[in-house]
Amino acid sequence: MKLPRDLSGNDLARRLVSLGYAITRQTGSHMRLTTNRGGEHHITIPAHDPLRIGTLNAILREVERHHGLTREELLRAIV
């Protein structure tokens, strides 16, 4: 499954709610999301529209590692 090319930071933050993430703070154009599933984990997402593919890839890689998911499983969960 290909990465979505038109995903904004706000859209990604809303979609990560299904994995237990919630916005804990926002400073300027960056949001900090935290989950307690599988231990505490923080990620930072820029509130850009759209997110650059490399940035999106790096964020998803962090989420995959924390939750022990493959890329396909993660994309199915958030898309």
Instruction: Considering only CA atoms, give the Rg of the chain.
Output: 12
Which pLDDT score is estimated for 4? 86
- In the predicted model, what is the mean pLDDT of residues 32-36? 96
Which pLDDT score is estimated for 52? 94
Contact 12, 79 (CB under 8 A): no
Please give the domain boundaries of the chain with CATH numbers for all domains.
9-78 (3.30.920.30)
State pTM to two decimals: 0.91
Cα–Cα distance, 28 to 1 (Å, whole number): 32
Return the closest-CA partner of residue 42 out of 56, 62, 57.
62
Predicted confidence (pLDDT) per residue in 16-30, tens digit? 999 999 999 999 999
Residue 79 predicted with pLDDT over 90: no
